[in-house]
């Protein structure tokens, strides 16, 4: 098992990465639990696979899990579900010192984390991420949120979990498309700040996607360590450091908004395409070489992820995509900071990007054949 600490003073916690952690969930969580029952929120897909082994694990410790099972999908990150989860936790008489468990992918983690953030002004929560994307990204760092009609993650809070258990065995049954989508966030750590890891992924990415144990653990642990370092330096995204983790997201969130946050384009797919667009836009500004921008495109393609906006069949122009970006949380006094690249492994936050220029760039991408 690999253990990555997230160093945040009194709110520090561990991310434990290894096999069979869900079958051992009760023992792993035991020091944090105070009652003979524990609330667990999950979705129907995850429940089908993991309810029984998790339940057995708690039975061995004499703890009774109480379950709330939601519909799967990005649409679950809604006001309605936030109310449903918080009402349920109140009915469960959860106190501030208690922990609620979020068992599932990024949607469950973000939603339950936000519910925990506001329940009685903050109760504990434990992340049990079951997708690659959630293991390497959303379960770590304390960003919690729901979506609204105006965009993604616009209502939320910073609220750190007390523990993250990333069970690599949970990835064995993950659909290939979800695996590739999570891989986009793995690749992101190489592109934004770790060129040797980018090179390692170029050679071993296939093994990661095939879930070969050693390569998978290395990829997850390296990704989590990168995120933990950045979060420890800039927990609340105030110093142009944590914002680097948003590489590909400004373009990506706009594409997600345009496709209605639907299965048409998964979050990780949007990030992969967004990363390609960020690299190409950086090349257009003369900041990264065309060759390196092309390497980013090739790495995205090699993972079976989308690299061309034209393939989405969108019925919109660059201006419409740029308008989605105006809702971005990074908007600052009328300007939108963009995470761009000087080289692979050297991302930075640009504050001089004109939306008119982005619009022109996107129009070019939308017309490309």
Ligand X SMILES: O=C(O)C(=O)C[C@@H](O)[C@H](O)[C@H](O)COP(=O)(O)O
- The set of catalytic residues is 121, 143, 185, 227, 237, 242, 246, 249, 253, 267
User: Distance (Å, rounded) from C-alpha 183 to C-alpha 175?
Assistant: 12
Among 137, 194, 217, 256, binds ligand X (CB under 6 A): 137
* Residue 319 near residue 356, CB atoms below 8 Å: no
Give the number of residues in contact with ligand X, rule: CB under 6 A: 12
User: Distance (Å, rounded) from C-alpha 185 to C-alpha 180?
Assistant: 9
Measured CA to CA in angstroms, residue 297 lies from 79, 211, 290 at distances of 36, 23, 11
Span of 57-65, 87-95, 136-144, 196-204 interacting with ligand X by CB under 6 A: 136-144
Q: Which is nearer to ligand X, 65 or 151 (CB)?
A: 151
By the rule CB under 6 A, 138 interacts with ligand X: yes
By the rule CB under 6 A, 77 interacts with ligand X: no
Q: Which is nearer to ligand X, 237 or 365 (CB)?
A: 237
Q: Which is nearer to ligand X, 50 or 114 (CB)?
A: 114
Residue 368 C-beta-side C-alpha neighbours within 13 Å? 16
* Residue 35 near residue 69, CB atoms below 8 Å: no
Judged by CB under 6 A, the chain residues 220 through 239 that form the site for ligand X are: 237
Q: Which is nearer to ligand X, 68 or 186 (CB)?
A: 186
The CB-of-89 to ligand X minimum distance in angstroms stands at 22
Among 57, 131, 223, 246, binds ligand X (CB under 6 A): 246
Among 41, 245, 275, 341, binds ligand X (CB under 6 A): 245
The CB-of-38 to ligand X minimum distance in angstroms stands at 26
Own/partner pairs for 33-38, CB < 8 Å, 24+ apart? 33/63, 33/98, 33/99, 34/97, 34/98, 35/63, 35/98, 36/62, 36/63, 36/64, 37/63, 37/64, 37/65, 37/66, 37/92, 38/63, 38/64, 38/65, 38/66, 38/99, 38/100, 38/101
Strand partners, 353: none
By the rule CB under 6 A, 242 interacts with ligand X: yes
In this structure, the dihedral spanned by the alpha carbons of residues 111, 112, 114 and 116, taken in order and rounded to 10 degrees, is: 170
Among 16, 77, 324, 329, binds ligand X (CB under 6 A): 329
The CB-of-9 to ligand X minimum distance in angstroms stands at 18
User: Distance (Å, rounded) from C-alpha 105 to C-alpha 11?
Assistant: 23
What pairing do the DSSP bridges indicate for beta strands 2-6 and 13-18? antiparallel
Q: Which is nearer to ligand X, 141 or 190 (CB)?
A: 141
Binding mask 150-169 for ligand X (x = CB under 6 A): ---x----------------
The residue ranges that bind ligand X (CB under 6 A) are: 137-138, 141, 143, 153, 185, 237, 242, 245-246, 249, 329
Annotated binding site for Zn(2+): 185, 249, 267
Annotated binding site: 106-110, 130-131, 143, 152, 185, 249, 267
């Amino acid at each position: 098992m690999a253990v990555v600490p997230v160093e945040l003073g009194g709110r520090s916690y561990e991310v434990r990465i290894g096999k069979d952690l869900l079958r051992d969930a009760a023992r792993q969580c035991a020091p944090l639990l105070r009652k003979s029952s524990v609330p667990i929120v999950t979705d129907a897909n995850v429940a089908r696979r993991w309810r029984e082994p998790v339940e057995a694990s708690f039975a061995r410790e004499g703890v009774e899990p109480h379950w709330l099972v939601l519909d799967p999908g990005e649409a679950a990150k809604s006001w309605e579900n936030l109310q449903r989860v918080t009402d349920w936790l109140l009915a469960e008489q959860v106190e501030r010192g208690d922990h609620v468990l979020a068992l599932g992918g990024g949607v469950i983690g973000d939603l339950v984390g936000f519910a925990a953030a506001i329940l009685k002004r903050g109760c504990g929560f434990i992340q049990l991420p079951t997708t690659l994307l959630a293991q390497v990204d959303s379960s770590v760092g304390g960003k919690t949120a729901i979506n609204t009609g105006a965009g993604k993650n616009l209502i939320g809070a910073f609220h750190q979990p007390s523990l993250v258990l990333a069970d690599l065995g949970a990835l064995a049954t993950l659909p290939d498309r979800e695996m590739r989508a999570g891989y986009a966030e793995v690749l992101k750590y190489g592109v934004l700040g770790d060129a040797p890891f980018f090179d390692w992924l170029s050679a071993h990415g296939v093994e990661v996607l095939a879930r070969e144990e050693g390569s998978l653990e290395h990829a997850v642990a390296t990704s989590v360590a990168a995120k933990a370092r950045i979060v420890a330096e800039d927990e609340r995204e105030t110093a142009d450091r944590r914002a680097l983790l948003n590489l590909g997201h400004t373009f990506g969130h706009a594409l997600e908004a345009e496709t209605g946050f639907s299965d048409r384009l998964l979050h990780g797919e949007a990030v992969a395409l967004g990363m390609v667009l960020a690299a190409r836009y950086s090349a257009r500004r003369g900041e990264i070489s065309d060759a390196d921008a092309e390497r980013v495109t090739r790495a995205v393609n090699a993972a079976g992820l989308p690299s061309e906006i034209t393939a989405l069949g969108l019925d919109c122009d660059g201006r419409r995509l740029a308008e989605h970006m105006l809702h971005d949380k990074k908007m600052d006094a009328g300007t939108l900071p963009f995470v761009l690249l000087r080289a692979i492994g050297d991302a930075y936050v640009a504050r001089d990007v004109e939306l008119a220029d982005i619009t022109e760039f996107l129009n070019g991408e939308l017309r490309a054949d």
